Structure 1
Amino acid sequence: MKKQLLIVDDELSILKLLNFVLSKEYDLIIKNSGVEALSWLEQGNDPELIISDLHMPYFDGSSFIRNLKISGYYRDTPVILLSGADDLEDRVSKMNFKVESFMQKPFNPTKLKAVITDLLTRKNDFELSN
């Protein structure tokens, strides 16, 4: 059974790229905004990992992830933040919540897959040790 990843982005080109790169190995749930993603999560869904854009209309990636991390339930779900912002590393360092990984757009698909594999392995190792 494929592991489920939640992808939250409003850029069609990024969604198509992520779908092309990841859909053979993972079950992808794609949402176009933080609002849609939160609604899906509130229905009891529990993805193994979340990939989110930083800049989206209405409810941006930072607000979406902050809400996840302060909720007890999704606090340990790994998050990869994507952004075209030049100062992405600085922005992430100033966030008052933990983001497991971040990547500048355009990103290297091979590197993204390696990061996903690493985060899922660490998550599974952590769950097995508890």
Structure 2
Amino acid sequence: MKAKSRALKVHKKSILIVDGGLNLSKLYNYILASDYYVTIKSNGIDALGWLEDGNDPDLIISSLRMPYFNGTSFIENLKLSGFYRNTPVILLSGEDNLAEKVQKLSFKVDSFMEKPFNPIALKTQITQLIA
């Protein structure tokens, strides 16, 4: 009698990425989709709508500059909402003096990286935050 093979189901963690750059969205998907469920929204308004539909990502990656609703306002709304207060956030930006800007924010950001970013460094940050 042949033994049945049982494949182990591995639960992938989910990441919400909020970034208006089409090329960067493709890059995020390319480097992360094999390890995580990736949802990409092009602006904070669409991301908030997705979250309000009951979605609960394990991690949020947000660009600082986005159309309609910038990353600072988006993350501040999340942190003030209470429900996503403990969801880890990585802030990405191509702005100068990003570390200084992050220190002046009225809310906690778990990690930040400057664009262009190293994909391996991003994956390492993600692993450290949601392992």
Q: Which amino acid aligns with 2:19?
A: D
Structure-2 residue corresponding to 1:57 = 67
How much does 1:12 deviate? 0.9
Structure-2 residue corresponding to 1:20 = 30
SS at match of 1:73: coil
Structure-1 residue corresponding to 2:130 = 120
Count of matched residue positions in the alignment of Structure 1 and Structure 2: 121
How much does 1:13 deviate? 1.2
The separation in 2 between residues aligned to 1:31 and 1:57, in whole angstroms, is: 11
SS at match of 2:83: coil
The separation in 2 between residues aligned to 1:119 and 1:54, in whole angstroms, is: 19
The separation in 2 between residues aligned to 1:54 and 1:100, in whole angstroms, is: 14
SS at match of 2:82: coil
Structure-1 residue corresponding to 2:112 = 102
String of CA shifts for 1:31-56, please: whole Å, max 9, x gaps: 00000000000111100000000001
**What residue ranges of structure 2 are gaps of 5+ in the alignment?**
1-10
Aligned with 1:73 (options 66, 71, 83):
83
Higher helix proportion (structure 1 or 2) = 1
SS at match of 2:50: helix
SS at match of 2:113: strand
Structure-1 residue corresponding to 2:8 = none
The separation in 2 between residues aligned to 1:75 and 1:54, in whole angstroms, is: 18
Q: Which amino acid aligns with 1:26?
A: Y
The separation in 1 between residues aligned to 2:103 and 2:125, in whole angstroms, is: 19
Structure-2 residue corresponding to 1:127 = none
Matched, 1:6 2:16: yes
Structure 1 runs (4+) greater than 6 angstroms displaced: none
The two structures, once aligned, show a CA RMSD in angstroms of: 0.6
Q: Which amino acid aligns with 2:118?
A: N
SS at match of 1:19: helix
Structure-2 residue corresponding to 1:32 = 42
**TM-score relative to the length of structure 1:** 0.91
Matched, 1:90 2:100: yes
How much does 1:2 deviate? 1.2
